[in-house]
Chain A
Amino acid sequence: MSAEAHGHDHGHDHEHEHHHKDTFITKYIFSIDHKMIAKQYLITGIIMGIIGIVMSLLFRMQLAWPEESFKIFNVLLGDKFAPDGVMANDIYLALVTIHGTIMVFFVLTAGLSGTFSNLLIPLQIGARDMASGFMNMISYWLFFLSAVVMLCSLFVEAGPASAGWTIYPPLSALPQAIPGSGTGMTLWLVSMAIFIASSLMGSLNYIVTVINLRTKGMSMTRLPLTIWTFFVTAIIGVISFPVLLSAALLLIFDRSFGTSFFLSDIYIAGEVLHYQGGSPVLFEHLFWFLGHPEVYIVILPAMGLVSEIMATNSRKPIFGYRAMIMSVLAIAFLSTIVWGHHMFISGMNPFLGSVFTFTTLLIAIPSAVKAFNWITTLWKGNLQFNPAMLFSIGMVSTFITGGLTGIILGDSTLDINVHDTYFVIAHFHLVMGISALYGMFAGIYHWFPKMYGRMLNKNLGYIHFWVTAVCAYGVFFPMHFIGLAGLPRRYYTNTNFPLFDDLQNVNVLITTFALVGGAFQLVFLYNFFSSIFYGKKAVQNPWRSTTLEWTTPVEHIHGNWPGEIPHVYRWPYDYSNPNHDVDFVPQNVPMKEGEEVLHH
């Protein structure tokens, strides 16, 4: 039985089921339809995003005006953590920690990859649904559960985890060392363990679906780049997430059962602890073996979305389709052997530092290829500046700006002096935070019609983009300078160092940009939620795109296509093909007689 025929039967089964028992619960809550699950991921991701961003605004205010008191601190953090509106130093660290955790895992991993992998994989490869709809549903609900546990940890007595999102032991292992390492940390670990289970189920589903359920004619080299990046991302996830799970489990053992995997020779609060023989450096290795691939898990899907949106809105094929695939594969491979660049000064053998410098700087090559290919895609195009296109261009811009400083941080010699300073924060927020967020926004503006059958307001989209773009640079560009001045990250206030007094004005500027940028996300939220109900009704293929998702009806049906699944006859980037009069030729249009393939 061919994959296509299989998908076909599968679809029909579901249609029958549907006519009989499609209740509110099976449709909106415990849905096994990938489109609904995608929307669930998106909404959950947006809610977590709001929480994460508000946290960052709070600690930015603390950094800019450390001596002021703010009523809002008291309102949001309570009397215990912000008496009289003055933020306590341990809750500052908790905010930093949970902001990082939420943004990296819950927004940019699950919210981004979860949403668009679920939405686009079946639609773009021509499948009725994911390989296992049931497992897909479980994957979402585990993610939801982990988010709930993470949010619960905010309300425990001693405060949430506050050892930084990297939770290095011993700080994360000993409640004596910081109050957040008590129940807060336990819940953090439980939440992450559930999250990893969810992520693994999702990833396995994506891999199996891409390999087995492609429609007739959809060879691997006719896959849209979105699917390539989701596919490769899922593979990296399956390889690296279990290592974090093992690190989390071993840490739970150390915390609760007295083992010494990561702890040794500790004297704290007036007593010697029994731990002996473990090493915190081991934890760092295990953590970053996931932690570094994780940034590619975040950025690769964004790259895929941007490639697709750029081609569509440039009315041009993506430049160097095969080079793009090769570079994604190269990045994925290299991403698993560079984790040590987070540990140059961790005390590991300096020889290892040399090796990791070498592999790390190699990543710049496929990254440069991608950036140049995107720029060339714009060259002599017919650019349609839909909001999604603006965000895509913005993503390339911040990816370049942020990526270039990676040459400094990836070089062990230079890392010595900028390690753990604000320079690092500026670098990674631009290259994977803002870039991935732009990729996510681009995806939302572009596929909103596919998700909700309505259009987002473009003028609000323009305002959203331009204010965000100015504020993103306004926040992170000056941050490089205070990092180069030697200002360490994760300091609750810098007032104890007259040396850094001249950086305070810059901090105020950064926070101002952050507050304005944060406030303007309300424009997006308004646009998003009002357009779900009142947006202009979408036509079937609003962006005149070539990929298969736009051949499905606007109204969602379980099984995606009412009749047979379309067959594929060409690659996904036949824009402005000189053999055709229209400037796009969908993948399901057969080759004309004598038509030659114009790309390699």
Chain B
Amino acid sequence: MTSLLVIIVVVLLAVALWQLTKIFDLTQVGSSSDDSQVASDNDNNVQGYIMFGFLAFIYIFTIYGLLKWGNLALHTPASEHGLLVDNLMNITWVLIFTVQVITQGLLYWFSFKNRGHKDRKALFFADSNKLEAIWSIIPSVVLACLILYGLYAWNNIMFVDKDEDVVEIELYAQQFKWTARYAGQDNVLGKANVRLIEGINTLGVDMSDPNAQDDIVVTELHIPKGKKVHFKMRSQDVLHSAYMPHFRAQMNCVPGMVTEFAFVPTYTTAEYRELDFMKEKVANINKLRAEKSVELVAKGGTALDPYTFDYLLLCNKICGASHYNMQMKVVVDTPEDYKKWLSEKTTLAQDIKAAAEAEKAKAAEATAPTTDTTAKVIDTVKAVIDTVKATVAKVAIK
């Protein structure tokens, strides 16, 4: 309905403008016989003033945008290197705004100032090596500084010191969910390959690898504040990208490859929720949700839950139809809470054993255990298909 209205308004607007041009054309018939469709002095004058108006529009729109939407942008980084990134970002923004204001100003001001007139003669000014040198050298110097700072930051962020004391975590991507694997006591992740995927070992961990015995698989990511977390990313099907905007962290997950990214979280989830900007943001979001809830309830739907902030891991590389809903909650704990949380988790080895036992018990329960291997295979295939279906359905419901 809204769209129809919009379209009608647009069409009417177009008709109105069309009529205006007609009138504009007619007014010119008397004054001069010029219908050459080449800009006249009158056109130059009018368009010159509109140029000036457009400059004002750009400036006002920019200021309006900064005031109205400036606080939408990600605020305080929640990681150590994030400060470095944001610092460089701020420097770059100052530079960009300065250049933008000056160059757009000159462009439209010159357009307005030099609007054509039949008595005017343009200045023949073909070149100046001095000017060319100025505007080659100044950008070069400025960019050299930016490049140096950028490379310094990049090297700090991307190269993980092998000897450092880090928490090793694997992020595992598949259509359309994330799983995490913790390295356990030995802090070494066991080997893995998608060819080893079987039953509840959905990450294809090589259970014959001694390092894999204490690995822990979870679907909610907890990380400790103040410790360097070293993520190793894998994907089982297509490209995904692990994007954690609040930590200024992102890395693609590539099938057949292990990629990595490391950072030190600096605020626990609880602390980050208490930051002023975040309280304001959440309050604003909840206000919007409350308004929408009223609308929904009026239509006979259910109200939206109020929102509390949580760090998120999003998929940021197109990965299929439900790409828009591939996310995982990230929790930053104090080191104590983190330890406690992790100690309550069972290892993958234990899970597999438990599952096998459950399976055995179930088999024993069955009155007539089948010995037909083909039937067994069919059953397994069916089971797999069912799980896939269930997952898809779950995703769809979400």
Contact = CB atoms under 8 A, between A and B. Distances in A.
Interface of A: 61, 65, 68, 70, 72, 89-90, 93, 163-164, 168-171, 174, 177-179, 263-270, 272, 276-281, 314-317, 319-323, 345-347, 350, 353-354, 357-358, 361-362, 364-365, 368-369, 371-376, 378-386, 389-390, 393, 396-397, 400-401, 404-405, 407-408, 411-414, 416-417, 419-421, 455-460, 462-463, 466, 469-470, 473-474, 477-478, 480-482, 484-486, 488, 490-494, 496-499, 501-504, 506, 512, 515-516, 519-520, 522-523, 535-536, 539, 542-543, 573, 575-578, 583, 598-600
B256 A264 contact: yes
Nearest to A578: B124
Contacts of A512: 6
B1 to A, nearest CB: 8
A171 B7 CA distance: 37
Contacts of A575: 122, 124
Interface in B95-117: 95-96, 99-100, 103-104, 106-108, 110-111, 114-117
Contacts of A503: 72
Which of A163, A361, A374: most chain B Cβ within 10 A?
A361
B146 A164 contact: no
Interface stretch (B235-243, B335-343, B357-365, B367-375): B235-243
B140 interface: yes
B234 to A, nearest CB: 9
B85 A417 contact: yes
B115 A178 contact: no
A486 B384 contact: no
Given A171-B320, A385-B39, A317 B92 contact: no
A65 B257 contact: no
B65 A573 contact: no
Interface in B219-271: 233, 236-239, 241, 243, 245-246, 248-252, 254-257, 259
Contacts of A413: 84-85, 88, 150, 153-154, 157
21 contacts: A70-B3, A177-B320, A266-B194, A267-B194, A267-B195, A270-B388, A272-B195, A314-B122, A345-B250, A368-B135, A376-B125, A380-B114, A382-B121, A408-B92, A478-B65, A481-B73, A490-B318, A492-B323, A497-B312, A504-B288, A506-B69
B6 A502 contact: no
Secondary structure type dominating chain B contacts:
helix
B151 A383 contact: no
Interface stretch (B17-25, B163-171, B180-188): B17-25
B354 interface: no
Nearest to B310: A499
Name the interface size band of chain B.
35 or more
A317 B17 CA distance: 36
Given A456-B37, A460-B21, A320 B69 contact: no
Which of B106, B197, B324: most chain A Cβ within 10 A?
B324
Contacts of B100: 400-401, 404
Contacts of B193: 265
Contacts of A61: 3
Nearest to A88: B321
Contacts of B108: 393, 397
Contact of A411 (B36, B146, B388): B146
Which of A277, A380, A383, A469: most chain B Cβ within 10 A?
A383
Contacts of B37: 455-458, 535-536, 542
A496 B398 contact: yes
A272 to B, nearest CB: 5
Which of A268, A421, A463, A578: most chain B Cβ within 10 A?
A268
A501 B285 contact: yes
B236 A268 contact: yes
Contacts of A266: 194, 236-237, 255-256
A177 B238 contact: yes
B132 to A, nearest CB: 5
Contacts of A383: 44, 48, 111, 114-116
Contacts of A404: 96, 99-100
Which of B159, B281, B304, B314: most chain A Cβ within 10 A?
B314
A60 to B, nearest CB: 11
Interface of B: 2-3, 6-7, 10-11, 13-14, 17-18, 21, 24-25, 35-39, 43-44, 47-48, 50-51, 54, 57-58, 61-62, 65, 69-70, 72-74, 84-85, 88-89, 92, 95-96, 99-100, 103-104, 106-108, 110-111, 114-117, 120-129, 131-132, 135-136, 139-140, 143, 146-147, 150-151, 153-155, 157-159, 174-175, 193-195, 197, 204, 233, 236-239, 241, 243, 245-246, 248-252, 254-257, 259, 281, 284-285, 288-289, 304, 307, 309, 312, 314-325, 327, 381, 384-385, 388, 398
Contacts of A535: 37
B116 A357 contact: no
Given A413-B154, A519-B10, A496 B324 contact: yes
Contact of B250 (A265, A419, A469, A492): A419
B194 A272 contact: yes
A385 B47 contact: yes
Contacts of B6: 512, 515
B96 to A, nearest CB: 5
Given A277-B256, A279-B256, A501-B289, 18 more contacts: A170-B238, A170-B239, A265-B195, A269-B388, A270-B388, A280-B255, A316-B124, A319-B128, A320-B132, A357-B150, A368-B135, A383-B111, A383-B116, A411-B92, A458-B37, A459-B24, A536-B36, A542-B37
Contact of B237 (A177, A281, A458): A177
A167 B309 CA distance: 34
B154 to A, nearest CB: 5
B103 to A, nearest CB: 5
Contacts of B54: 466, 469-470
B102 to A, nearest CB: 10
Which of A276, A419, A598: most chain B Cβ within 10 A?
A419
Contacts of B96: 404-405, 407-408
A357 B154 contact: yes
A237 B134 CA distance: 32
A519 B14 contact: yes
B181 to A, nearest CB: 16
A164 B238 CA distance: 13
B122 A381 contact: yes
Contacts of B312: 497, 499
A156 to B, nearest CB: 16
Contact of B321 (A90, A350, A364, A519): A90
Given A171-B238, A376-B131, A347 B44 contact: no
B158 A350 contact: yes
A317 B103 contact: no
Contact of A485 (B73, B84, B254, B327): B73
